[in-house]
């Protein structure tokens, strides 16, 4: 039960950070009654859903990657088998790029819409989707949730897809971004590639 209550606390914290920031950006969270923070919403998960495999759990890499791919397909609207994620570390943080492998216009539209939405969420401190896919003990995740106000997160269209750029003057956050990218590289297997740009 300790792991579940810890997970619940992290999801509540993510939800509250996202809601509190949304007050500044859009005037409030529509789902939260005035003066009452959301209990689990918008991050409540169906009771039948299995707990994600956490880093360090006794499972094979293949089993973990299979679970991550299944969860990724629930969160990402584009076809993971027809796209490639590139996680490039930089001296200031990193750049996450997703491109359609076959140049399909619908794939590119889905990639761009998803990354645009994710960039807006990350800029509010809402990292729920990566936590749902990779587990809430994902390396770097806690530091990003707590330090989102010290990061600049920008979205851009690129050939074949889109990118999100993460930058911070805070060395600890840069290290957290690198750790977070490393965890995604390990979990996505053949669907992802690593890179390093400058510095």
Computed over every residue of the chain, the mean pLDDT equals: 73
Q: What is the mean pLDDT of residues 110-121?
A: 96
Q: Look at residue 51 and tell me whether its pLDDT is greater than 70.
A: no
Res 186: pLDDT: 80
How far lies 187's CA from each of 22, 55, 141, in Å? 30, 9, 14
Rounded CA gap, 29 and 32, in Å?
A: 6
Asked if residue 90 lies in contact with residue 168, where contact means CB atoms within 8 angstroms, the answer is: no
Res 21: pLDDT: 28
Asked if residue 122 lies in contact with residue 164, where contact means CB atoms within 8 angstroms, the answer is: yes
For 140, the 3-state DSSP assignment is coil
Q: What percentage of residues in the chain have a pLDDT greater than 70?
A: 59
Domains of the chain with bracketed CATH: 81-197 (3.30.70)
Max mean pLDDT range (25-34, 137-146, 159-168): 159-168
Nearest CA-CA partner of 71 in 135, 119, 18, 15:
135
Q: Look at residue 116 and tell me whether its pLDDT is greater than 60.
A: yes
Res 6: pLDDT: 41
Rounded CA gap, 142 and 132, in Å?
A: 13
Q: What is the mean pLDDT of residues 51-67?
A: 60
pTM assigned to the model = 0.64
pLDDT tens by residue, 83-109:
998 999 999 999 999 999 999 999 999
Q: Look at residue 38 and tell me whether its pLDDT is greater than 50.
A: no
């Amino acid at each position: 039960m300790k792991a579940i209550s810890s997970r619940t606390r992290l999801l509540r914290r993510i939800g509250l950070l996202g809601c509190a920031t949304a007050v500044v950006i859009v005037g409030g969270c529509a789902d939260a009654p005035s003066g009452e923070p959301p209990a689990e919403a918008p991050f409540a998960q169906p009771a039948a859903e299995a707990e994600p495999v956490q880093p360090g759990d006794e499972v094979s890499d293949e089993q973990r990657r299979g679970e991550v791919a299944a969860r990724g397909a629930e969160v990402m609207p584009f076809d993971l088998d027809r796209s490639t994620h590139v996680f490039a570390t930089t001296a200031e943080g990193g750049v996450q790029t997703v491109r359609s492998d076959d140049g399909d216009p619908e794939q590119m539209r889905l990639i761009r819409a998803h990354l645009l939405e994710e960039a807006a969420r990350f800029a509010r401190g809402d990292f729920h989707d990566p936590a749902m896919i990779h587990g809430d003990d994902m390396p770097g995740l806690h530091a990003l949730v707590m330090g989102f106000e010290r990061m600049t997160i920008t979205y851009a269209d690129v050939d074949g897809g889109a990118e999100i750029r993460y930058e911070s003057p805070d060395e600890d956050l840069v290290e957290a971004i690198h750790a977070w990218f490393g965890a995604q590289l390990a979990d996505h297997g053949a669907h992802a590639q690593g890179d390093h740009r400058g510095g």
